Amino acid sequence: MTEQVASYRRILKSSSIIGGASVINILIGLVRTKIVAVLLGPTGIGLVSLYTGLMATATAVATMGIGTIGTRQIAEALSKDDECAVAVARHFREVEEGWPGGFARKEDEDQAYIAAHPLPDDSLQLSRLQVNGHEVTYCGREAMAFRLNDRGHLTAFAGSDAKDVTVDGRTTVFADKPLPQLAWAPVPKTRRVDGGAVLQVMAHGRGVIRIPRSDLPERIEIVADGPTPGSRGHLVPSHWEDGALVIEITGRESGRSLWGVPVP
């Protein structure tokens, strides 16, 4: 299904709902008017019309057009196809923060405190967790975050000690083995420049990662950060395989920003 066809279907569905609601309101109004006319007579109908007009005026003044403005703003937001990121983390609400010394750290005191108060397990085990309208299955540590596009494809991810994630029944394997840290995301359109990067990747450790194709261009090269901010470093070997951009992370790339740059 193309994006244009999906857009037409959303418009048709919305129009049908609004049209159906309008028809129901008209029918209810006819029935109400008939009942009022029978019970109150001509004088009662006049009073009801007068009070209805006063209520409409008062409502317009009280709301100050918020309904119309809100509809416009919602429609504008939907037209932008804004993507929403979802994050999940362990909540250590029962862990007391009783570290002595404030900002003046003393290693021996810290080690003694940790020995007396072992830190809790930071593993993150999710099995069909319902969160923000999604169902997530995941195995890693600390925290994770993801973002889907309007077609339900994974476009951004960040996590630790993980190699795959399942969102809404779709599993994405993004590494050949769990990596200490891995994150990728498209460069926001507001930050893009002509001929610049459209993807940013950061990985710690060594291994092979697989970035889902999603909305990435077919011709793209991966460039590491250079020695100075904003400079280009070495090209990182990459290739497409089964709908994913495959990149090998070595000690040279570990912990450095990698940029996906379209090739003319």
Average pLDDT on 145-161 reads 89
Average pLDDT on 111-129 reads 84
Which structural domain, as residue segments, surrounds residue 14? 3-79
How many angstroms separate the CA atoms of 236 and 254, rounded? 12
Share of the chain above pLDDT 70, in %: 81
**Same domain, yes or no, for 116 and 226?**
yes
Average pLDDT on 76-91 reads 67
**Same domain, yes or no, for 62 and 91?**
no
Q: Which residue has the higher pLDDT, 34 or 207?
A: 207
For residue 61, the model assigns a pLDDT of 64
Average pLDDT on 8-26 reads 75
Domain final residue pick, 53, 79, 105: 79
Q: Given the structure tokens 């129901």, which residue do they identify?
A: 24
The pLDDT-based confidence of 40 (bands split at 50, 70, 90) is confident
Which of 154, 206, 208 lies closest to 180 in space, CA to CA?
A: 206
Please check whether residue 120 is in contact with residue 95, taking contact to mean a CB–CB distance below 8 angstroms: yes
Which whole-number Å values give the CA distances from 165 to 90, 128, 135, 147, 249, in the listed order?
Answer: 17, 11, 11, 12, 20
How many angstroms separate the CA atoms of 178 and 159, rounded? 10
**Same domain, yes or no, for 123 and 233?**
yes
**Same domain, yes or no, for 75 and 97?**
no
How many angstroms separate the CA atoms of 102 and 233, rounded? 41
What tokens does 213 get? 């194709």
**Same domain, yes or no, for 255 and 184?**
yes
